């Protein structure tokens, strides 16, 4: 009776929700590209939009002249945006709405009063602890560390170390500083990871190098090198991993790196602990699109190339795909949440994406060719999915139940919702419901757990009946067996 009442209530609630949200659904369905997501079989299926492009901001809008090839955007602890305006050799700092310019950093002052300027800066980072601005000054071959007023406190240049090959130019592209003040620098021509400096600017070594993917070619090369002479060996090409492209730091101090590569499929996204170990190495997530796009004009396959990564406040991972101009948003466990953006001329489309940043429910993407920043806003669907995912990942399965039901109102193909409901119902002890949703989610693992509970419950509830049935059947079988044997014997005698 109680369960029926609950079902009835849920149904009524669901009906009301549909009525309320059907209006929003109609509004949020308009986007100039087909919004999709991946299903259980890794095939693209239509989905609801989690983010919509709301506006784009150019340098002209901000009243400081057009951007020229902006290549990075960063949000500091005061929610101000630092936009690296590469071609104009300046850092533009705006307010949190991206409507007004707070300041433009183009001149920096040494202690002795002399002035220095930037030359094609590519990356910026602002430390929330020390309030210092780190600028990767690409063509000046240095990383500038200064305060908000532009007073240089440290300048990191090419290290005079054996570990650093002196033939190479120092070309910093991205920069990051952890809580201890260690500075990590992505260098354009280094494949052994990010160069790591301590807070004094002394070179410490490399951090987070990618491993070489074990393709058949690499293994074959390894074999040939074993049996070839030194002379032959010197002529073969070396197997070198792709260098990391960009990185970001989350609240717990983990560094996430991304690698933009046309061929490499492993290590494209890594979550590194302080020891440099990849915590995502066990994930089966294929970051970016599953299938490469075949271009007839160049007769080449284009696979996703993640050129920037950003960790949102709630731990979600935003990955920016250079190939398709799409943003792939994953939760902190690496489950795909949304795909948005495209390569086109309309709002929400890009020519060449460069960097991504987020604040609350908004995502900002910098296009280096179009010279503006596009602002994406979370839809109702997006916010409800985020709410449910965050609750779920934090272990609040039951609290996530209602948001998950709501998610299904928007998109009945959203597999994570079925998984979430199955987990929540299992916690609540509704094994049959949990089994049902596990089946809908096509998850044998979840089904197994629900089934185990259901079986235990069933056995303890019906133990007497089962025992009685087994005993009766056994008795009947024995009687029948002896009866038949006896009859056979007597029939044999007669014959």
Partner 1 sequence: MMDLNNRQWVKHAVTHPFEGFEDMRWKKAGSIPYAIVIILLWFVASIFYNRLYGFQFYAEADKMFNIIPYIVQTIVLFLTWVIGNWAVCTLLDGEGTMKNIFVYSAYALIPYVASIYLDVFMSHFLIRDEYIFIEAVRYIGIGWSIVLVFSAIKSVHQYSFLKTLGAIVLTIAAMLIILFLLVLLLSLIQQVYVFVYSIYTEIAYRLKV
Minimum CB distance to partner 1 smaller for 20 or for 463: 463
Say how far apart CA 440 and CA 443 lie, in whole Å.
8
Burial class (CB in 10 A: 0-12, 13-18, 19+), 36: middle
DSSP state of 96: T
**The two three-digit tokens of residue 152, written as one number:** 């240089």
Minimum CB distance to partner 1 smaller for 372 or for 431: 431
Cα→Cα distances 253→178, 273, 312, Å: 7, 8, 13
Minimum CB distance to partner 1 smaller for 97 or for 452: 452
Cα→Cα distances 39→33, 162, 254, 336, 389, Å: 19, 50, 29, 10, 17
CB of 448 to partner 1, least distance (A): 4
Minimum CB distance to partner 1 smaller for 236 or for 448: 448
Cβ-count burial 223-245 (b if 16+ within 10 Å, e if not): eeeeeeeeeeeeeeeeeebbbbb
Minimum CB distance to partner 1 smaller for 151 or for 456: 456
DSSP state of 155: E
Largest CA distance in the chain: 127
Say how far apart CA 403 and CA 383 lie, in whole Å.
10
Burial class (CB in 10 A: 0-12, 13-18, 19+), 474: exposed
Minimum CB distance to partner 1 smaller for 106 or for 442: 442
CB of 440 to partner 1, least distance (A): 11
Say how far apart CA 56 and CA 456 lie, in whole Å.
58
Say how far apart CA 243 and CA 217 lie, in whole Å.
19
The closest alpha carbon to 255, from 332, 178, 197, 362, belongs to 178
**13 in helix, strand or coil?**
helix
Minimum CB distance to partner 1 smaller for 187 or for 438: 438
Q: How much of the chain is in helix, strand and coil states, percent to nearest 5? A: 30, 30, 40
- What is the contact surface with partner 1 in residues (CB under 8 A)? 41, 438-439, 442, 444, 447-448, 451-452, 455
CB of 388 to partner 1, least distance (A): 24
Minimum CB distance to partner 1 smaller for 16 or for 473: 473
């Amino acid at each position: 009776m109680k369960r029926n009442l609950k079902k009835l209530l849920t149904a009524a609630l669901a009906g009301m929700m549909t009525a309320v949200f059907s209006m929003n659904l109609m509004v949020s369905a308009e986007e100039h590209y087909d919004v999709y997501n991946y299903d259980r079989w890794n095939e693209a299926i239509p989905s609801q939009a989690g983010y919509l492009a709301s506006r784009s901001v150019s340098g002209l809008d901000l009243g400081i002249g057009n951007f020229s090839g902006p290549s990075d955007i960063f949000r500091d602890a005061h929610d101000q945006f630092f936009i690296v305006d590469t071609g104009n050799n300046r850092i533009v700092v705006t307010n949190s709405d991206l409507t007004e310019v707070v300041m433009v950093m183009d001149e920096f002052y040494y202690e002795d009063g002399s002035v220095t300027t930037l030359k094609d800066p590519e990356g910026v980072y602002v430390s929330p602890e020390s309030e210092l601005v780190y600028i990767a000054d690409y063509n000046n071959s240095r990383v500038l560390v200064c305060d908000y007023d532009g007073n240089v406190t440290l300048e990191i240049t090419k290290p005079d170390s054996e570990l650093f090959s002196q033939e190479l130019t120092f070309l910093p592209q991205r920069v990051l500083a952890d809580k201890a003040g260690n500075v990590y620098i992505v260098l354009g021509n280094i494949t052994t990871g990010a160069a790591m400096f301590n807070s004094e600017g002394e070179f410490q070594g490399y951090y987070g190098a990618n491993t070489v993917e074990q393709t058949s070619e690499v293994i074959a090369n390894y074999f040939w090198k074993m049996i070839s002479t030194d002379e032959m060996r010197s002529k073969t090409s070396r197997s070198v991993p792709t260098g990391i492209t960009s990185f970001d730091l989350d609240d717990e101090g983990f560094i996430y790196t991304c690698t933009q590569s046309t061929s490499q499929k492993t290590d494209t996204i890594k979550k590194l602990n302080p020891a440099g170990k990849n915590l995502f190495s066990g994930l089966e997530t294929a970051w970016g699109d599953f299938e490469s796009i075949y271009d007839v004009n160049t007769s080449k396959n284009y696979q996703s190339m993640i050129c920037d990564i950003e960790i949102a406040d709630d731990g979600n991972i935003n990955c920016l795909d250079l190939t398709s101009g799409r943003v792939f948003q994953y939760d902190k466990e690496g489950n795909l949440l949304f795909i948005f953006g495209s390569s086109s001329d309309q709002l929400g489309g890009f020519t060449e994406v460069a960097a991504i940043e987020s604040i609350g429910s908004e995502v900002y993407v910098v296009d280096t060719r179009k010279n503006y920043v596009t602002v994406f806003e979370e839809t109702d669907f997006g916010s409800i999915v985020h709410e449910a995912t965050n609750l779920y990942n934090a272990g609040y399965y039951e609290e996530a139940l209602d948001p998950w039901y709501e998610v299904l109102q928007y998109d009945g193909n959203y597999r994570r919702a079925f998984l979430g409901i199955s987990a929540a119902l299992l916690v609540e002890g509704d094994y049959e419901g949990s089994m049902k949703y596990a089946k809908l989610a096509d998850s044998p693992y979840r089904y197994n757990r629900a089934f185990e509970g259901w079986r235990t419950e069933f056995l303890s509830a019906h133990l007497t009946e089962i025992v009685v049935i087994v005993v009766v059947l056994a008795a009947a079988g024995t009687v029948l067996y002896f009866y038949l044997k006896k009859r056979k014997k007597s029939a044999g005698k007669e014959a």
